[in-house]
Chains A and B, each alone.
Chain A
């Protein structure tokens, strides 16, 4: 199975700053079938990005995804207070679909 490694484990930033989160796969993710989710405490994950770079419905354009092959990035251009959460990547190019361990984005 494909193992996804997210870095950093925790990212401390302030509102207004730019956040760059990384997701590296143990083997190439076919067709860039890579998604990103946001999860706040006590809530279900929310889909942000699919197909590596397509924003889900209702997601603000400050969220963007990029990458291909084994290296993917989620960028939040200017952090808003509500963006502090845990972010997970997930690959669905091969079975079984797998998730990364998460990056915690905390308010500095």
Chain B
């Protein structure tokens, strides 16, 4: 069974940093492009960042470019999101989500974690 479990969310002040993690199990993590998608409270879904299976390709949304860094450790079956220079508008539930097999970049998302809440407030 595919499982994605996010952690690392919490309350942080504007301008601060936070590192999210996503632990994957139930599939060959090293073969899949992985993503972060966020959802502000009461709002819709927004794609944040993607990383290909071997980290060769990384894509970020314009809203986080230069502030957030996606990475992965295939030996640990883990995905990460380093979030710097956080702003109030970054407040959201952050989901880890998987691309379907064979899709390197933009695709639908076939499995999602339960999410971790990041709150940016003074």
| Residue ranges of A at the interface with B (Cβ–Cβ < 8 Å) | 33, 35, 37, 43-47, 50, 56, 88, 90, 92-102
Interface contact tally, CB-CB below 8 A? 54
Inter-chain contacts of B108 with A (CB < 8 A): 33, 35, 47, 50, 90, 92
- CB of B107 within 8 A of CB of A92, answer yes
- The secondary-structure label for the interface of chain B is loop
Known: A35-B108, A90-B108. A44 touches B44 (CB 8 A): no
Q: For residues 43 through 59 of chain B, which have their beta carbon under 8 Å from a beta carbon of chain A?
A: 44-47, 59
Inter-chain contacts of B110 with A (CB < 8 A): 47, 50, 56
Query: At the interface, yes or no: B82 with Cβ under 8 Å from chain A?
Result: no
- CB of B114 within 8 A of CB of A43, answer yes
Inter-chain contacts of A90 with B (CB < 8 A): 45, 108-109
Query: In whole angstroms, how far apart are the Cα atoms of A43 and B115 in the complex?
Result: 8
- CB of B44 within 8 A of CB of A50, answer no
* Minimal Cβ-Cβ distance residue in A for B96: A44
Q: How far is the CB of B40 from chain A (nearest CB, A)?
A: 12
Write 30 A-B pairs (CB below 8 A) sorted by A numbering.
A33-B106, A33-B108, A35-B108, A35-B109, A37-B45, A43-B114, A44-B114, A44-B115, A45-B109, A45-B112, A47-B109, A50-B100, A50-B108, A56-B110, A88-B44, A88-B45, A90-B45, A90-B108, A90-B109, A92-B107, A92-B108, A96-B62, A96-B106, A97-B47, A97-B107, A99-B45, A99-B47, A100-B44, A101-B44, A102-B44
